[in-house]
Amino acid sequence: MSKTVKNWYDARAEYEWTRLFQDGYHQLEYLVTMHFLVKYLPKKGLILDAGGGPGRYTIELAKRGYDIVLLDLSPRCLAIAKKEIKRAGVRDKVKDIVEGSVTDLSRFRNEFFDATLCLGPFSHLLDKSERARAAMELVRVTKKKSPLFISVFNLYGAFKAVLFGHQDDLTDTFHKELFTRGIHRSHYGQLKEAKRSAGETDAYFFHPSELKELFEKIGVKTLTLANCQGLSSFQYDATNTLYKDKEKWSRWLVILLQTCADPYIIGDGNHLLYVGRKEKKVHKTSERVKT
């Protein structure tokens, strides 16, 4: 994973802590993810939160009794995580906080974790070989018959984002790579006169079938795919209006959670969640492995 991505998350570490709770719309990503974590996680065990940033999911799962290892490439995000973990009173459940990348989990031995989360990092791996390595590493360190939870940026969600707020990108030749290969780069090519895209960093956008195939070919059984924004996808104002009415919001969440894994809408949102179960052992790894 590039230094560009690391620096970007360092610069926005405080925002990453507040991002999922800034309004009702952004909260959907957290609520949908937690819905499937509760559904598929074992009742207890050691969980890897790979790319967990400032620790929102780490803290919530620690409160629910799980032991957690938090890994992230951003030292500033991890600094916030340490502070918030202490504030939440769950330091005894967070067994380690590690600076590192999902492409190299060699510090962990094979079949070490009872479940693995990777909520975001795959969307910053531009090279296919990096994505394959990260997938292999995550599967390797996860116990057989245990679940993996992977969330990524949605390809068609990126197209819809262009429609709603970045229409000039359609005629900007520097964005051809996004529409042909699903890649957004933090800068436009090598031209000196090219403008920098300050609002985003390097990103890769997945088609749902691609994410499914990536893990199935290395011994993972797909349990579900879900649209993290569900029927609310890109309906920012309407969703946030509902959020202000507790009764309506509660009823809408029931509908959204009932439908977010419908194959007809999984590719339509900002974020896609994949849930799989490891069925085969994977031993391929780097030389440096801790026991």
Domain count within the chain? 1
Alpha helices in the chain (DSSP H): 3-11, 13-18, 24-40, 56-63, 75-88, 128-141, 155-165, 176-181, 208-216, 236-243, 246-259
% of the chain with per-residue pLDDT over 90: 78
Check which CATH number belongs to the domain holding 25 and give it: 3.40.50.150
Tokens standing for residue 211: 């994410």
The rounded distance, in Å, linking the Cα atoms of 55 and 117 is: 12
Spatial separation of the C-alpha atoms in residues 120 and 128, rounded to whole Å: 16
> For residue 156, is it within any domain?
yes
Question: Rounded CA gap, 90 and 7, in Å?
Answer: 28
Tokens of 185: 């780069």
Task: Give me the domain span that covers residue 23.
Answer: 3-278
Evaluate whether residue 290 is within a structural domain. Answer: no
Q: What does the radius of gyration of the chain's CA atoms come to, in whole angstroms?
A: 19
Kindly state the tokens that stand for 54: 């400032």
What integer best gives the mean pLDDT of the chain? 91
Tell me, what's the pLDDT at 199?
A: 52
Structure tokens at 142: 């996860």
Maximum mean pLDDT: which of 189-193, 201-205, 221-225: 221-225
Q: What is the mean pLDDT of residues 173-179?
A: 78
Range 206-214 average pLDDT: 95
Q: Which two tokens stand for residue 187?
A: 């800068």
d(CA 78, CA 17): 10
The verdict on residue 152 lying in a domain is: yes
pLDDT value of position 290: 44
C-alpha 192/C-alpha 89 separation (Å) is 50
Kindly report which listed range (144-148, 201-205, 273-277) carries the lowest average pLDDT score: 201-205
Q: Is the pLDDT of residue 210 over 80?
A: yes
In the beta sheet, which residues pair with residue 272? 152, 227
Tell me whether residue 140 is in a domain.
yes
Domain-embedded: residue 141: yes
For 104-144, what is each residue's pLDDT tens digit? 999 999 999 999 999 999 999 999 999 999 999 999 999 99
Tokens 């819905």 sit on residue: 35
For helices 246-259 and 236-243, give the axis angle rounded to 10 degrees.
130
DSSP 3-state of 98: strand
- Please state whether the predicted TM-score (pTM) of the whole model is above 0.75: yes
The band of 184, judged by pLDDT with boundaries at 50, 70 and 90, is confident
Q: What is the pLDDT of residues 57-93, one digit of tens each?
A: 999 999 999 999 999 999 999 999 999 999 999 999 9
